[in-house]
């Protein structure tokens, strides 16, 4: 199947009341495992590449990899999305390399460390949206800064995220500001901050409403019911993967992620895109550790990759089932970027309009 845009997929998800996981990819094995799961579940999928993934694999490799996956799995609608674009150049070069969707993350300055002022975020996001919509690509913006409500800090482990201490007014997206931001920028989807953060160390205990503010999502959804909401930092950091990792020589301190049941609740409150990277990393890394420990003489990388891909496929299938994505792929009739561009030009896809 041809690639589809984020806007088309999330409109379908909103009309049919489901959520779509967005899995980060960096290499062929992740792509294959995710697409095997999608095909088995009849699920559409969002693949996303961070700036780090683009420099790891290279734009040409990523473009051909995603085209190959689309050819190999013709029944799966695939969105190819730029995760956390830091400026116009990152977003526009992604579109030039075949991405159908970009995130312009103007919640931070281009260094991806400094919380950005409102005017900067609005201006840069609106500029990217205008350019992207002209060619039919979709845009996700972000308002509010990802980080822990327990510590006031963003996770440092992946080398990005706000530096220093943040207060709750920065860490929780304001519903009225969200409405104004969407109206001013015309984004197709809005990433919100509700206490989640990137990486494995999100919560020091099983999260409750104090540290994972699901009520804030409900308030934002009530204010902008037709805007597709995005939850970043949505790995669940499952206990079984922590245990598998640690059983085979790993040293991961006990930690808690976002419970899948909370994400299911979020989907009922307008969350349509659910970003997951850490869980996928853990699934593969735990199996690498197991093979390395159980078979110290093994040196064929495929013997590490095959179980790692199987573990990832199991995780991905579970998320498709629980988010309601399973069983939806065959219902989607792909629209080309040109068709999407024509709809934007007609004003048929204003974010406050009913889903098209």
Binding span for ligand G3H by CB under 6 A among 50-58, 165-173, 208-216, 303-311: 50-58
Binding span for ligand G3H by CB under 6 A among 4-12, 29-37, 46-54, 325-333: 46-54
Instruction: Give Cβ neighbours of residue 144 (< 8 Å, ≥ 6 apart).
Output: 107, 170, 171, 172, 173, 174, 191, 192, 193, 194
Residue 197 as a binder of ligand G3H (CB under 6 A): the answer is no
The set of long-range contacts for 241-249, using a CB threshold of 8 Å and a minimum separation of 24, is 241/279, 241/282, 241/283, 241/286, 241/315, 242/282, 244/286, 244/287, 244/289, 244/290, 245/282, 245/285, 245/286, 245/289, 247/290, 248/286, 248/289, 248/290, 248/292, 248/293, 248/294, 249/289, 249/292, 249/293
The footprint of ligand 13P on this chain (CB under 6 A) covers a number of residues equal to 13
Residue 232 as a binder of Zn ion (CB under 5 A): the answer is yes
Binding mask 219-258 for ligand G3H (x = CB under 6 A): ----------------------------------------
Q: Which of 7, 12, 81, 198 binds ligand G3H (CB under 6 A)?
A: 198
Task: Please give the residues from 250 up to 279 whose contact with ligand 13P meets the rule CB under 6 A.
Answer: 275-278
Longest CA–CA span in the chain (Å) reads 63
Q: Which of 36, 198, 216, 290 binds ligand 13P (CB under 6 A)?
A: 198
Shortest reach from residue 269's CB to ligand 13P, in Å: 18
Q: Which of 53, 189, 194, 316 binds ligand G3H (CB under 6 A)?
A: 53
Shortest reach from residue 231's CB to ligand 13P, in Å: 8
In contact, 341 and 135? CB cutoff 8 Å: yes
Residue 328 as a binder of ligand 13P (CB under 6 A): the answer is no
Q: How many CA atoms lie within 13 A of 165 on its CB side?
A: 3
Residue 232 as a binder of ligand 13P (CB under 6 A): the answer is yes
Match 């780090």 to its residue by tokens. 52
Shortest reach from residue 94's CB to ligand 13P, in Å: 14
Rg (CA), the chain: 19
Shortest reach from residue 290's CB to ligand G3H, in Å: 23
Residue 199 as a binder of ligand 13P (CB under 6 A): the answer is yes
Among Zn ion, ligand G3H, ligand 13P, none, the one that 234 touches (CB under a kind-dependent 5 to 8 A) is ligand 13P
Residue 50 as a binder of ligand G3H (CB under 6 A): the answer is yes
Residue 242 as a binder of ligand 13P (CB under 6 A): the answer is no
In contact, 307 and 264? CB cutoff 8 Å: no
**252 burial class (0-12, 13-18, 19+ CB within 10 angstroms)?**
middle
Nearest residue (CB) to ligand G3H, 12 versus 232: 232
Shortest reach from residue 83's CB to ligand G3H, in Å: 6
240: phi > 0 → left, psi -120 to 50 → alpha, else beta; which? alpha
Among Zn ion, ligand 13P, ligand G3H, none, the one that 220 touches (CB under a kind-dependent 5 to 8 A) is none
Task: Please give the residues from 258 up to 297 whose contact with Zn ion meets the rule CB under 5 A.
Answer: 275
Catalytic residues: 83
**DSSP strand pairing (189-192 vs 78-85):** unpaired
In contact, 38 and 44? CB cutoff 8 Å: yes
Q: How far is Cα 200 from Cα 333, in angstroms, rounded to an integer?
A: 36
Shortest reach from residue 192's CB to Zn ion, in Å: 12
**C-alpha distance from residue 25 to each of 44, 57, 235, 259, 308 (Å):** 16, 10, 14, 22, 14
Tokens of 18: 């489901």
Q: Which of 158, 163, 177, 264 binds ligand G3H (CB under 6 A)?
A: 158
Write out the residues near ligand 13P by the rule CB under 6 A: 24, 83-84, 198-199, 232-235, 275-278
Write out the residues near Zn ion by the rule CB under 5 A: 232, 275
């Amino acid at each position: 199947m041809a690639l589809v845009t984020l806007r088309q997929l999330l409109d379908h998800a909103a009309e049919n009341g489901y959520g779509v996981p967005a899995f980060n990819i960096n290499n062929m094995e992740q792509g294959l495992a995710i697409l095997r799961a999608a095909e088995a579940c009849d699920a559409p999928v969002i693949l996303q590449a961070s700036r780090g993934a683009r420099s790891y694999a290279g734009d040409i490799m990523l473009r051909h990899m995603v085209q190959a996956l689309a050819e190999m799995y013709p029944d799966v609608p695939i969105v190819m999305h730029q995760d956390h674009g830091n400026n116009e150049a990152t977003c526009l070069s992604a579109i030039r390399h075949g991405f159908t969707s970009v995130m312009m993350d103007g919640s931070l300055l281009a260094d991806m460390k400094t919380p950005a002022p409102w005017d900067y975020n609005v201006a840069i996001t609106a500029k990217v949206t205008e350019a992207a919509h002209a060619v039919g690509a979709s845009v996700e913006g972000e308002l509010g800064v990802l980080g822990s409500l327990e510590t006031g800090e963003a996770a440092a482990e992946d080398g990005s995220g706000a530096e220093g201490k943040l207060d709750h007014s920065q860490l929780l997206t304001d519903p009225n500001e969200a409405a104004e931001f969407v109206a001013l920028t015309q984004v197709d989807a809005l990433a919100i901050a509700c206490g989640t953060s990137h990486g494995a160390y999100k919560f020091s205990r099983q999260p409750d409403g104090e540290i994972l503010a699901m009520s804030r999502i409900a308030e934002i959804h009530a204010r902008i019911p037709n805007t597709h909401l995005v939850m970043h930092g949505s790995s669940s950091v499952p206990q079984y993967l922590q245990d598998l990792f640690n059983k085979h020589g790993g040293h991961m301190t006990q930690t808690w992620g976002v419970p899948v049941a909370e994400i299911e609740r979020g989907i009922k409150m307008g969350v349509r895109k659910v970003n997951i990277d850490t869980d996928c990393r853990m699934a593969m890394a735990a199996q690498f550790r197991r093979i390395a420990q159980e078979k110290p003489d093994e040196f064929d990388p495929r013997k590490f990759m095959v179980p790692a891909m199987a573990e990832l496929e199991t995780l991905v299938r579970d998320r498709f089932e629980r988010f309601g994505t399973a069983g939806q792929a065959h219902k989607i009739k792909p629209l080309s970027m040109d068709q999407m561009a024509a709809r934007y030009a007609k004003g048929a896809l204003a974010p406050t309009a009913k889903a098209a």
